[in-house]
Each structure stands twice: as structure tokens, then as C-alpha cells.
Chains A and B, each alone.
Chain A
Amino acid sequence: MTAYQFEIQHIHQTFHKGTANEHHVLKGIDLKVKKGDFICLIGGNGSGKSTLLNAISGSFPIDEGKLLLKQKEIQSLKEYQRAKFIGRVFQDPNLGTSPRMTIAENLSIAQKRGAKRSFIKRATSSNAVKQFSKEVEMLELGLENRLNTEIGLLSGGQRQAITLLMSVLQKPELLLLDEHTAALDPKIAKFIMKKTNELITKQHLTAMMVTHNLQDALSYGNRLIMMQAGKIVLDLNQTEKEKMTVEELYQLFSQ
């Protein structure tokens, strides 16, 4: 029996329970994720994609079900405790970085994800900054010369690139990307998508990526999942995915 990197067992989530606004958003989600899987997650607006990722990362306690990361239950851990193992990039470029802190300072925060943060040690030592400079160079945005610039002064695309780097600076057991290119202009979105793929394949990361771009969903990753009204309705493996065309996928999507 293969051990799964990550398992979702029968998750249910209802918002505003017992009120007129009661909304059953996740209706029994089951998913087994192998180590190194790069899953693209698609589905219509309001189908529960973000809610699923938020449930995994611990934005709210889930009503029912289990989350197993490397066979350990994590569903009762707090969000910041799960963040030791889970990297995240949000749709909103403002959410992933600290605007008043410099690029170097943001990266130093990310470098310490999951480690003890010292009250004595300087966060941005010259050694650390040298390493950051190398990492940022990989983004090919010229930001390595602006490590002391406040993040708030960067464009959305630049910020999202830094957020992406921050989410993998300490290798995560699971990387969650929620439409992380949706708020960017098409050119930079394409660039960020390419970098995302590079980072995930190079570091053999296990990742779940929500995207509304069907072409991206087919081009990237080794598995494709579609959600509808809080349920997984389609689960394609690598070979099935390779046979699928955008048109066919669109047909399924609009059913």
C-alpha cells in the first residue's frame, strides 16, 4: 500500500448553520494526493474551491471529516500550526506579503517558517541577504537589486512573484495556490504561471492549484479535478488529462 502525502476524508462544511443563510458549501470531499502530485482544481464560481483550500489551511475549523498530512491528522491544528507544513499563495497579491516590510525582511520571515524565531538573532543578516539575492534572481524580475525596497511599492505581479518564492523558501509538504494569477495582467500572469510550474517540478513539490484558466489546467500538473456545488465531479489522471481538449473540458465544465 502506498502512503499518501495528503488525504482528505469526507469533509463537510456549512456556513451560517441554523440561520436562513445556511449554506452547505463542501458536501463530502474525498481526495488522496500522492507525493509530487501537481493537481489543478477547476470549477464554477461558488463551487467551493477556495473554501476547500481554506479548510485545508485552517482558516476555519471544519464541521466534519479528517485531513491527513503524511498520515498525521491536522484538522484540529490552528492555521499557524498547519502553516509549518503548508505553503500558500492567495489570489489577492496584497494578502501574501507584508507591505511595510522590505523584500529582504519578507523573505526572512518566510525563511523562518516552521522554525523558532529568535529574540536575539538579527533577521536579515548579510549571509541571509546574499542567499535571498540568489533566490530572487531566479524570478528574473531584477528585484535582486531592490531587496531593501518596501513590498508595498511593488506592482501586483512583482508582489505575487515574491509571495510565490516565500511559499516555497522552506519546502512545504503541500503547496496551495488559489487563482494566484487571476488578479494579474495576462502577460505577468503567464510569467508567474511558468515560474510556478518551474518551482513545483524542480523541487518535486506536492501542490493543489485552483485556476479558472482551462488551458492552464490542461497544460500544467499531472492531475485535474473539477468541483461542482461542493463535490468533486471529475478526477482525471495524467493520461486522461493528456487526451482531453479545452473544448471537451469546457463542455464538461458548463454542464
Chain B
Amino acid sequence: MGIIVSTILQGLLWGLMAIGVFLTFRVLDMPDMTAEGSFPLGAAVCVTLIRSGVHPLIAALVGGFSGMLAGAMTALLITKCGLPALLAGILTMTGLYSINLRILGRANLSLNGYQKMDNLLDSFHFPPYFNMLFIAVAIIGVIVILLALLFKTEAGQALIATGDNEQMARSMAINTDLMKIYMLMLSNGLIALAGAFIAQDSGYADISSGIGTIVIGLASVIIGEVIFGRVSLTYRFICVILGSIIYRFILMLVIRLGLNPNDLKLISAILLAICLALPQLRMKLKQLVFLKKEV
């Protein structure tokens, strides 16, 4: 029971990060590597603030805000300096490693003995993991609803159009550079917020926690796509969260099967490679079957 609840909780929290990755990779159609730096940035800012006595919710929000700044940095490199998106993200991510180290002061900073988000519900005496689960469901639910509403507004539609057909967006008088800045800020804000929540949930911030975030995020996005197919944007957000939860269950099973947790990143990468190759493989398989029939 406990393991299932905790796996769902992990899926939810990482799902928020995956939504951030979804916004850049899928909606904006831009491979943004900033995520690997903004995720630990959110964690580092949040943990440091909590340790200096800031309320855990406010600390998390400030963590998210710091991610927006990181996203803005990458966006400026792309739109004002003309760098390719991939390189701009890598530059920000690399720079953030030093910044994160400065914020933390060392590689790993614990929240042991400090007030965290889940302590806010202590007086209800819920079973373990449920405090954080309720908080996560509430916060992520609100975020998904707000995102769904945002992308239905006039400006939200301009954000989508920029990712879908930039030439059309520009010829419809949309400032596509500004839209990219907004999207990268929104995306990295959510990713850093997820970093802050996950740091509170696990009880520490770690300098290397960003490694693999993009693979995890993309895996969630693609599992959602493979299982739930082509749906409207609102449902896509929910599918990404569900994809993230499924991904966590797969990882849990893999560990249960006795694999070494140190191999998790390798397993994640292989999992993603398989998911990405799936449509291609399916085609090949079809061709193979088709050819056999011909003969």
C-alpha cells in the first residue's frame, strides 16, 4: 500500500516537471536543455530558504521563480543573440551548475529537522505519504487547470501558434521572440517548482539531481502519447502526468526485480529510446509483414 501511494506521489511531482518539458519540447517544438539546471536550481533555492526560516510554500514559489529567470536567460540567448536553442540551453545549464553550487554551499544540503510542506497537514494524522499526496494533488490540479485556461486565451493561442508554425505566427503579427521568452520562462518555472517540491519531499537538495531530468520528462510525455494517443491540449497535460506516474511504476517494478538503483539512469535512457523508436519499429514491422505477404 505504502509503496503504491509513494509511487503515485513521485509520479505526480515528477509529472509537474514533465509538463515543463512538454511545454518546450512539444508545444514550442524547441529542445530546451535548461531543465537540467533549472530543476536543481529550484531545489537549491527552496532548501536554502527553508533553512533560513522561510515558509516552505513561499520557499517553493521563490524556487519556481528562480527557474523562470533561468528560462529567460536561455530565451534571451536564443532570441537576442541568435544562438541555436540546444546550445543556449546547454550554456545556461552549465552556468547554473556553478550557481547552484554557490547557493547550496556544498554538493548536498539536507532539510532534516526543518519544517516542510507536508508538515503543514501534520495535525490531521493522515497515513504516511498522504500529507504530501494531498498537497501535490491540490497544487498540481490547480496548475493544470490554469495551464488549460491559459492556452485557450488569445495570448495562449499565440503561444501555441508560435510553436506550431512560426512563419504563420509572424505573418499574423505575433511577436514570436516574446512568445518564446514567455514559454521558456513558464516551462522552467514549472520545472524549478517541481525541483523545489521534490527536494522537500525527499528532504534534501542535491547538486546532481538535475542529471537526466529531460530524459525523465520526455519519457513521461511519450508514454502518455503512446498510451492515450492524440487528444486535445487540456487532456495532453493530464496524459503527461499519467505518463509520469506509469513511468514511476515501471521504475519501481524494475527495482523490485532486483536491478541496481545505480542503473536507473541507464534504464531510463533505454526506456525512452524504446518509446521513441516504437513508431519507427511499428512501421518496420508492418513493412516486414507486408513483404512476407507479397512473397
Contact = CB atoms under 8 A, between A and B. Distances in A.
Interface of A: 57, 79-81, 83-84, 88, 90, 94-101, 105, 108-110, 112-114, 117-124, 166
Contacts of B160: 98, 100-101, 105
A83 B166 CA distance: 13
B167 A95 contact: yes
A99 B160 CA distance: 11
Interface of B is mostly: helix
B176 interface: yes
Given A80-B173, A83-B173, A113-B173, A98 B154 contact: no
Contacts of A118: 153-155
A114 B173 contact: yes
Given A98-B161, A101-B160, A101-B161, A119 B155 contact: yes
Interface in B169-186: 169-176
28 contacts: A79-B170, A80-B174, A80-B175, A83-B172, A95-B168, A96-B168, A98-B161, A98-B164, A98-B169, A100-B160, A101-B161, A101-B164, A108-B154, A109-B157, A109-B158, A109-B161, A109-B168, A110-B172, A112-B172, A113-B173, A114-B173, A117-B174, A118-B153, A118-B154, A119-B150, A122-B152, A123-B154, A124-B152
B150 A83 contact: no
B171 A123 contact: no
A192 B92 CA distance: 48
Contacts of B158: 109, 112, 117
B212 interface: no
B154 A117 contact: yes
Given A105-B157, A122-B154, 8 more contacts: A84-B173, A95-B168, A98-B160, A109-B158, A109-B172, A110-B172, A112-B172, A123-B152
B153 A98 contact: no
A112 B172 CA distance: 8
Contacts of B157: 101, 105, 108-109, 117, 123
A100 B164 contact: yes
Contacts, number: 84
Given A109-B161, A117-B158, A123-B152, A97 B173 contact: no
Contact of A117 (B155, B165, B170, B176): B155
Contacts of B170: 79-80, 83
B156 interface: yes
B171 A88 contact: yes
B7 to A, nearest CB: 32
Interface in B84-121: none
A109 B161 CA distance: 8
Contacts of A101: 157, 160-161, 164
Contacts of B175: 80
Nearest to B162: A98
Contact of B168 (A81, A98, A117): A98
Contacts of B154: 108, 112, 117-119, 121-123
Contact of A97 (B152, B155, B156, B168): B168
B182 to A, nearest CB: 10
Nearest to B230: A150
Interface string B3-31: 00000000000000000000000000000
B172 A166 contact: yes
A96 B171 contact: yes
3 pairs of A and B residues whose beta carbons are closest in the complex: A83-B173, A117-B154, A98-B164
A99 B153 contact: no
A100 B174 CA distance: 17
Interface string B37-70: 0000000000000000000000000000000000
Interface string B141-158: 000000000101111111
Contacts of A79: 170-171
Contacts of A90: 167
A90 B164 CA distance: 17
B232 to A, nearest CB: 10
Contacts of B153: 117-123
Contact of B165 (A57, A97, A121): A97
Contacts of B172: 83, 109-110, 112-113, 166
B156 A81 contact: no
Nearest to A120: B153
A99 B176 CA distance: 17
